[in-house]
């Protein structure tokens, strides 16, 4: 193929298509107009115009988490770029592969405080895996291919490409058939597993009496769910998961303990606290999982940590055996010689805890309970849907009561806890998984942060089923004020929120509402049977709390169990 005279913008779009980009989420502005102009004559390039830049990056994030591919978004300079910052930080905390493209003012006026100028590279440096400021249009193909490689290898994360306006319009000779060889000096994408360390871990399992596995989001991101399942089949070690690890190990498995941590199950938290061998697989020992680190796993003679990022080994919890490498590779090697540990009475102890303190709530025939809604959705979807959540009580109830069967089925802001994430991330997940049911579970607070994206659901008939758990209050804040701050409630009343059904209808999306069990069953069935997007508002009890609850600064086994205590 002969070289063509192309602009930097045309080369950019070609490079994105060459990387297999299926859809870009974005919002135009003055300093990306050449990029958007290049889209006009490119029928292969699919772009979705969100109604806010934050909606764009959360949608790209949901696409990436649910598919395992790199999500891509575009915004203009200045406020367009800075509106992406929360989404970049969200992806960075949760190791999500994104390529974030921003425009910037022309190079001739950079540094002069030009209109809509912001040094987005410096602003986002702590929350990106790598950043590029493009100064020569000839570098665009190389930079795009490097960005995708960096974003989606090793510990995954967001990469920023900032393109000044004049660079995007610069004309250059470009050979569309040329190959881009990636040679990044000093970048080791994925370290090879240390077989000796894995052997030490297997020896520790052979000596253990009370082993427990903590499976984190790394199991999902490395597509190692099958390898973990085989490892557990061979070793018979019980498994607890982090929030982002849900689905990486089937919730219904006989050795599943559920989620651990602040709102983890009684059996999971007690198993960790009583274990003599703790094996973290793709979990970074986040403070919401460990709670008080000084009192974490006090009986563990050995703590092992498998992670692709060597910086995580021993960072939060002292580690005795560190296995650095891609989790899939580590487990494939381990599975060649894994053996069952000596079960003894450990399994019986765990089963007794599960029986004595299961997840439960006090149901009601007069008011709708949020836990009931999650259980109903789980049952009706058979645990097979992609569930996105916002942040708050509903997020924890979804983690507790939805029975995730498959990896990449929960899309949730774990590390940063970003309200407004849930709904737009569902749009991205649905674009990436057109044949699967995608359910977006939101609180009435978070739903109002990105509700404007209802417009694109209506226009493009994106068939997300949007659930609003409406308790008329900032529920998680209210719960902590009630329990920790002596019930001194401060600015948590969401009175004045819109009628969500009418809001949906105003955008052209079907809206339904339920406040009783019978209505809930009926409207959910109607929602699922409706082609296209539907918003379902469930009006639930205002004062319901999430239990178990471990107060910050206390140990995992110091759980408040609510009415079941």
Is residue 165 among the annotated active site residues?
yes
Q: Is residue 160 within 8 Å of 124, Cβ to Cβ?
A: yes
Q: Is residue 231 within 8 Å of 331, Cβ to Cβ?
A: yes
Q: What is the pLDDT of residue 161?
A: 98
**Alpha helices (H) along 85-208:** 85-93, 120-124, 140-151, 165-169, 195-207
**Alpha helices (H) along 388-493:** 393-401, 422-432, 454-460, 475-484
d(CA 472, CA 474): 7
Q: Is residue 27 within 8 Å of 35, Cβ to Cβ?
A: no
SS (H, E, C) 255-288: CEEEECCCCCCHHHHHHHHHCCEEEEECCCCCHH
Query: For residue 283, which of 316, 254, 258, 250 has the smallest C-alpha distance?
Result: 316
Strand 410-411 versus strand 465-470 pairing type = unpaired
d(CA 6, CA 275): 62
CA dihedral for 535, 536, 541, 546, sign (positive or negative) = negative
- Chain centroid to Cα 228, Å, comes to 20
Is residue 115 among the annotated active site residues?
yes
H or E stretch including 539? strand 534-539
Catalytic residue, candidates 4, 44, 115, 384: 115
* Cβ partners under 8 Å of residue 387, min gap 6: 377, 398, 402, 404, 409, 410, 411, 439, 441
Catalytic residue, candidates 476, 500, 510, 549: 476
Catalytic residue, candidates 53, 227, 375, 453: 53
Q: What is the pLDDT of residue 182?
A: 87
Lookup: tokens for 141: 């193909």
Q: What is the pLDDT of residue 180?
A: 75
Query: For residue 289, which of 555, 564, 562, 561 has the smallest C-alpha distance?
Result: 555
Q: What is the pLDDT of residue 43?
A: 93
Catalytic residue, candidates 129, 156, 165, 369: 165
SS (H, E, C) 235-250: HCCCEEECCCCECCEC
Q: Is residue 268 within 8 Å of 259, Cβ to Cβ?
A: yes
Q: What is the pLDDT of residue 1?
A: 54
Is residue 210 among the annotated active site residues?
no
Catalytic residue, candidates 116, 138, 234, 472: 116
Gyration radius from the chain CA atoms? 24
Q: Is residue 71 within 8 Å of 60, Cβ to Cβ?
A: yes
Q: What is the pLDDT of residue 137?
A: 96
Q: For the whole model, what pTM was predicted?
A: 0.96
Q: What is the pLDDT of residue 181?
A: 81
d(CA 545, CA 541): 10
Query: For residue 550, which of 287, 354, 263 has the smallest C-alpha distance?
Result: 263
Coil, strand or helix at 290: helix
d(CA 546, CA 540): 14
Lookup: tokens for 39: 């889209």
Strand 386-389 versus strand 410-411 pairing type = parallel
Query: For residue 35, which of 177, 110, 175, 140 has the smallest C-alpha distance?
Result: 140
Query: For residue 12, which of 121, 139, 184, 110 has the smallest C-alpha distance?
Result: 139
Phi, psi of 345 (to 5 degrees): -100, 5
Coil, strand or helix at 212: strand
- Starting at the edge strand that comes first in sequence, how are the strands of the sheet with 302-307 ordered? 256-259, 239-241, 211-215, 277-281, 302-307, 321-324
d(CA 33, CA 256): 51
Coil, strand or helix at 442: strand
Q: What is the pLDDT of residue 87?
A: 98
Q: What is the pLDDT of residue 340?
A: 86
Residues of the chain with pLDDT under 70: 1, 564-565
According to DSSP, the residues that pair with 102 across neighbouring strands are 75, 162
């Amino acid at each position: 193929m002969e070289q063509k005279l192309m602009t930097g913008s045309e080369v950019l779009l070609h490079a994105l298509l060459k990387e297999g980009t299926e859809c870009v989420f974005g919002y135009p502005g003055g300093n990306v107009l050449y990029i958007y102009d290049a889209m006009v004559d490119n029928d292969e390039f699919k772009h979705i115009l969100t109604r806010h830049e934050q909606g764009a990056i959360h949608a790209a994030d949901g696409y990436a988490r649910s598919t395992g591919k790199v999500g891509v978004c575009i915004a203009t300079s200045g406020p367009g770029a800075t509106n992406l910052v929360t989404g970049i930080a969200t992806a960075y905390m949760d190791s999500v592969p994104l390529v974030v493209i921003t425009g910037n003012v022309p190079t001739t006026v950079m540094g002069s405080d030009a209109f809509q100028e912001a040094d987005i590279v410096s602003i986002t440096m702590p929350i990106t895996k790598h950043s590029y400021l493009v100064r020569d249009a000839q570098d665009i193909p190389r930079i795009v291919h490097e960005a995708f490689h960096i974003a989606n290898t090793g510990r995954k994360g967001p990469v920023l490409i900032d393109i000044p306006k004049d660079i995007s319009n610069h004309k250059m000779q470009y050979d569309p058939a040329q190959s881009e060889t990636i040679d990044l000096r000093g970048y080791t994408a994925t370290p090879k597993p240390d077989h000796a360390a894995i052997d030490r871990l297997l020896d520790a399992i052979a000596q253990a009496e009370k082993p427990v596995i903590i499976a984190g989001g790394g199991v999902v991101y490395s597509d190692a769910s099958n390898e973990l399942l085989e490892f557990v089949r061979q070793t018979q070690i019980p498994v607890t998961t982090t929030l982002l690890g849900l689905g990486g190990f089937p919730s219904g498995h006989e050795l599943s303990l559920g989620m651990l941590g602040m709102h983890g199950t009684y059996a999971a938290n007690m198993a960790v606290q009583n274990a003599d061998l703790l094996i973290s697989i793709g979990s970074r020992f986040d403070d919401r999982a460990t709670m008080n680190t000084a009192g974490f796993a006090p009986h563990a003679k050995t703590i092992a940590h498998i992670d692709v990022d060597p910086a995580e080994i021993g960072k939060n919890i002292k580690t005795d055996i560190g296995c650095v490498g891609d989790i899939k590779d580590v487990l494939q090697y381990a599975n060649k010689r894994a053996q069952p540990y000596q079960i003894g009475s450990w399994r019986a102890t765990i089963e007794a805890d599960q029986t004595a303190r299961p997840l439960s709530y006090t149901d009601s025939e007069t008011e709708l309970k949020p836990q009931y809604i999650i259980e109903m959705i789980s049952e009706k979807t058979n645990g097979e849907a992609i569930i996105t959540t916002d942040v708050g009580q509903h997020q924890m109830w979804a983690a507790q009561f939805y029975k995730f069967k498959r990896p990449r089925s929960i899309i949730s802001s774990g590390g940063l806890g970003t309200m407004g994430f849930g709904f737009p991330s569902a749009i991205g997940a649905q674009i990436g998984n057109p044949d699967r049911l995608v359910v977006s579970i939101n609180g009435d607070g978070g739903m109002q942060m990105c509700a404007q994206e209802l417009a694109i659901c209506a226009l493009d008939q994106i068939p997300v089923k949007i659930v609003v758990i409406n308790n008329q209050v900032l529920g998680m804040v209210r719960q902590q004020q009630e329990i920790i701050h002596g019930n001194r409630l401060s600015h948590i009343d969401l009175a004045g929120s819109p009628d969500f059904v009418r809001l949906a209808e105003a955008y052209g999306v079907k809206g339904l509402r339920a406040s009783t069990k019978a209505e809930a069953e009926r409207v959910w069935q109607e929602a699922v049977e409706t082609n296209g997007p539907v918003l379902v508002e469930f009006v639930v009890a205002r004062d319901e709390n999430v239990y178990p609850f471990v107060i910050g600064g206390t140990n995992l086994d110091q759980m408040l169990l609510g009415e079941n205590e």
